[in-house]
């Protein structure tokens, strides 16, 4: 009896619930599956974007992934930033000068304040940088400070730091400090735009852990709240004096379980901006969003990196690698397999970085006959077989298979995709020199300069050089660029080095990344910077 009776009640309840939700959700939709903003819990004037949970606490020098950087960039402002052309724009700095590329003098703008009201001084920078670089504090980006004289004292290879301060940093007065480097670096100023060089207020040192959960910065936005794995909310800083003052009232960084879910919320008006459209929706997103679809390359490059310790590529003639490069049909693969989300590469550096040049070569264009000829000329591939290692969790399988197909068809060299289950395993194999012959590499600009795409990747001692490429001439060419007197000369020297790389082939550049995102009708002025990130402060709420 009990069972039957309650069952009736519940069926009734479900009908009522269905009816209730029907009333609640309808009406707003304008018929073609797209609605204006009706986002729940979003204060008026705020904009929202799908930026997932930052991996680590929000400390500038401990964040190197794009999700955390988004938030860091909104809460903190460094000395300088870059415009769409990759040119320097001073934000917190009045000027950054050097006569010898070794000693740099930084003058700060007057009257800047942290969000807790304390002033931003030279001391705020110097003390923060010393803290970041200290090995005891284990900051992910500590190595960014290694150009500064005295870095080894605070960050020794082994053991405890010998000093708490780097001797290269000196406070001159309230708003001036000097940076002395251990060797001249003509492009050091560019590095200062990286999020890691942010200043810290005094409150940080009292409780670093609490600060990481609720940062107090000097940036265009003031931190409001962090609902872990759900959203981070920041509000515009009314007293901000930098050029990138927020044009909206605040931002919600929302975390989505999948890109598909985020895309659906964009369509239904529950989200304003999406950073990347998922593969499922790529074929139709331009149709769905019209001129609100974003399709723009940014300063990042994907390449195949031969491992020069492997049996396949040990003491190889670079001609073979040139041949393999010409065997990849970049145009077709980017158009079909990658749905137009990439743009074929034409050099080792992407456009959008200073010093990017036309190498005037056909090494990056598809030519099956010439590819085969070059491989044969260079003595062929040992074992006539190569492997391309990739991580299966990153959506690389399709294009790696296509690249292999292309190489096999044009040169007759057998090519096998070598999947590692995830990025961790992939990285482990690279670190331990266990890559069979090639891996898929990817590099996003830290600063918009051609140097960043060569020195960090192909220098013999460069730590991100997992292909273990080593060449005396190349090292010398890089050194020439590092020792140049001015930034312009340095860029030019690296342009020469790039031409040299073309004859050495430390990697096969494949394509540049593109931002394939979009925004809703609720916002305007959505633009992309050289990182491929949205310029959040410029976004305005549509009238």
Partner 1 sequence: MGRYVARRLLQMIPVFLGSTLLVFSMMYALPGDPVRALAGEQTVDPTQIAAMKKNLGLDLPLWHQYWNYLIGLFQGDFGTQIASGRPVADIITEAFPITVRLTLFAFTFTVLVGISMGVFAGLKADQLRDRGLLILTLLLISVPSFVLGFLGQYFFAFQLGWVDPNVSAEANWDELFLPAVVLGSLSLAYVARLTRTSVAENLRADYMRTAVAKGLPRRRIIGVHLMRNSMIPVVTFLGTDLGALLGGAVVTEGIFNVKGVGWNVFDALKHREGATVVGIVTLIVVVYLVASLLVDLLYAVLDPRIRYA
Q: In angstroms, give the least distance from the CB of 414 to partner 1.
A: 26
- Distance CA(164)–CA(421), nearest Å, equals 42
Residues 112-141 that bind partner 1 (CB under 8 A): 135, 138, 140
Which SS3 state, helix, strand or coil, does residue 298 take? strand
Q: Under the criterion CB under 8 A, does residue 461 sit at the interface with partner 1? A: no
Separation CA 388–CA 306 (nearest Å): 9
Query: In degrees rounded to 5, what are phi and psi of residue 432?
Result: -90, 15
Nearer to partner 1 by Cβ, of 301 and 505: the residue is 301
Q: Which of 29, 398, 405, 414 binds partner 1 (CB under 8 A)?
A: 29
> Residue 8 or residue 206: which is nearer to partner 1 going by CB?
8
> Applying CB under 8 A, does 360 fall inside the site for partner 1?
no
d(CA 7, CA 188): 73
Nearer Cβ to partner 1, position 379 or 394?
394
Q: 25 vs 379, which CB is nearer to partner 1?
A: 25
Residues 171-230 that bind partner 1 (CB under 8 A): 209, 212, 227-230
N residues, the chain = 543
Contact 491, 450 (CB under 8 A): yes
Q: Kindly state whether residue 509 participates in binding partner 1, applying the rule CB under 8 A.
A: no
Q: Is 423 a binder of partner 1 (CB under 8 A)?
A: yes
Q: What angle do CA 319, 325, 329 make, to 5 degrees?
A: 145
Of the candidate residues 103, 178, 255, 525, the single one contacting partner 1 (CB under 8 A): 255
Which residue among 163, 421, 433, 460 contacts partner 1 (CB under 8 A)?
A: 421
Query: Under rule CB under 8 A, which residues in 54-73 are in contact with partner 1?
Result: 54-57, 64-65
Quick one: which of 293, 392, 427, 542 contacts partner 1 (CB under 8 A)? 427
Cβ 178 to partner 1 shortest distance, Å: 26
Considering only the stretches 5-13, 69-77, 86-94, 350-358, report the one whose residues sit in contact with partner 1 under the rule CB under 8 A: 5-13
- 142 lies in the site for partner 1, by CB under 8 A: yes
CB of 317 to partner 1, least distance (A): 28
- Contact characters 387-406, partner 1, x per CB under 8 A: ------x-------------
Residue listed under structure tokens 């938030």? 71
Determine, following the binding rule CB under 8 A, whether residue 428 of this chain makes contact with partner 1: yes
DSSP codes, 233-255: EEEE-TT--STT--SSSEEEEE-
CB 184 within 8 Å of CB 152: no
User: Measuring CA to CA, how many Å separate 123 from each of 148, 155, 212, 465?
Assistant: 16, 20, 20, 35
Q: How far is the CB of 138 from partner 1 (least distance, A)?
A: 5
Q: Which two tokens stand for residue 178?
A: 């000097």
Q: Distance of alpha carbon 522 from its chain centroid, rounded?
A: 27
In DSSP notation, 460-495 reads TT-TT-TT----HHHHHHHHHHHT-SSHHHHHHHHH
Contacts of 3 (CB under 8 A, 6+ apart): none
With binding defined as CB under 8 A, does residue 160 bind partner 1?
no
Site for partner 1 in 263-292 (CB under 8 A): 264-265, 267-268, 270
- Integer-rounded Cα Rg, in Å, for the chain is 26
The residues with which 398 forms a beta bridge, in sequence order, are none
Nearer to partner 1, 40 or 472 (CB): 40
**Other C-beta atoms lying within 10 Å of the C-beta of residue 84:** 12
Q: Cβ closer to partner 1: 4 or 44? A: 4
Told to check if 12 binds partner 1 by CB under 8 A, we report: no
Nearer to partner 1, 355 or 459 (CB): 459
Whether residue 190 contacts residue 448, with contact meaning beta carbons closer than 8 Å, is answered with yes
For the beta carbon of residue 287, count every other beta carbon within 10 angstroms. 8
Residues touching partner 1, count (CB under 8 A)? 74
**Residue 256 beta carbon to partner 1: minimum distance, rounded to whole angstroms:** 6
For partner 1, the closer CB: 192 or 266:
266
Instruction: Report the residue number, 14 or 476, with the smaller CB distance to partner 1.
Output: 14
Answer whether 270's CB lies under 8 Å from 324's CB: no
From 53-61, 192-200, 311-319, 509-517, span contacting partner 1 (CB under 8 A): 53-61
3-state helix, strand, coil in the chain (%, to 5): 35, 20, 45
């Amino acid at each position: 009896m009990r069972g039957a009776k309650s069952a009736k009640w519940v069926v009734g309840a479900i009908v009522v619930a269905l009816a209730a939700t029907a009333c609640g959700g309808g009406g707003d939709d304008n018929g073609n599956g797209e609605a204006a903003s009706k986002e729940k819990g979003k204060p008026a004037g705020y904009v929202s974007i799908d930026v997932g949970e930052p991996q680590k606490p929000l400390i500038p020098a401990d964040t190197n992934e794009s999700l955390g950087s988004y938030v860091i960039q909104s809460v903190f402002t460094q000395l300088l930033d870059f415009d769409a052309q990759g040119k320097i724009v001073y934000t917190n700095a009045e000027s950054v000068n050097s006569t010898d590329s070794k000693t740099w003098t930084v003058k700060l703008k007057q009257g800047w304040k942290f969000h807790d009201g304390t002033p931003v001084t030279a001391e705020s920078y110097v003390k923060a940088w010393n803290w970041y670089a200290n090995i005891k504090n284990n900051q992910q980006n500590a190595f960014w400070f290694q150009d500064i004289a005295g870095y080894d004292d605070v960050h020794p290879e082994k053991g405890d730091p010998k000093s708490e301060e780097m001797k290269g940093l000196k406070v001159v007065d309230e708003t001036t400090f000097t940076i002395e480097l251990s060797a001249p670096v003509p492009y050091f100023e560019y590095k200062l735009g990286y999020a890691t060089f942010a200043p810290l207020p005094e409150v940080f040192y009292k409780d670093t852990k609490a600060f990481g959960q609720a940062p107090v910065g000097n940036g265009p936005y003031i931190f409001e709240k962090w609902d872990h794995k759900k959203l981070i909310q920041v509000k515009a800083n009314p007293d901000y004096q930098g050029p990138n003052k927020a044009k909206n009232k605040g931002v919600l960084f929302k975390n989505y379980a999948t890109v598909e879910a985020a895309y659906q919320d964009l369509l239904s008006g529950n989200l304003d901006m999406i950073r990347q459209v998922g593969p499922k929706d790529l074929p139709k997103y331009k149709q769905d969003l019209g001129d609100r679809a974003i399709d723009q390359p940014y300063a990042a490059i994907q390449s195949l990196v031969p491992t020069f310790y492997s049996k396949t590529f040990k003491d190889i003639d670079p001609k073979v690698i040139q041949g393999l490069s010409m065997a990849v049909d970049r145009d077709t693969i980017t158009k079909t397999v990658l749905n137009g989300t990439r743009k074929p590469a034409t050099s080792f550096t992407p456009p959008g970085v200073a010093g990017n040049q036309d190498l005037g070569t056909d090494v990056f264009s598809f030519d099956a006959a010439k590819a085969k000829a070059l491989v044969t000329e260079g003595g062929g591939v040992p074992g006539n077989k190569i492997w391309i290692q990739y991580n299966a969790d990153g959506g690389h399988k399709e294009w790696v298979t296509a690249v292999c197909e292309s190489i096999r068809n044009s040169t007759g060299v057998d090519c096998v995709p070598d999947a590692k289950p995830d990025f961790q395993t992939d990285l482990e194999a690279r670190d331990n020199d266990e890559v069979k012959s090639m891996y898929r590499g990817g590099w996003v600009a830290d600063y918009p300069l051609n140097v960043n795409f060569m020195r960090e990747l192909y220098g013999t001692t460069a730590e991100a050089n997992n292909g273990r490429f080593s060449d005396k001439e190349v090292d010398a060419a890089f050194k020439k660029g590092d020792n140049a007197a001015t930034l312009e000369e340095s860029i030019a020297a690296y342009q020469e080095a790039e031409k040299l790389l073309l004859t050495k082939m430390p990697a096969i550049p494949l394509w540049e990344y593109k931002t394939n995102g979009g925004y809703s009708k609720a916002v305007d002025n959505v633009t992309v910077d050289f990182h491929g990130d949205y310029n959040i402060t410029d976004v305005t709420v549509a009238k």
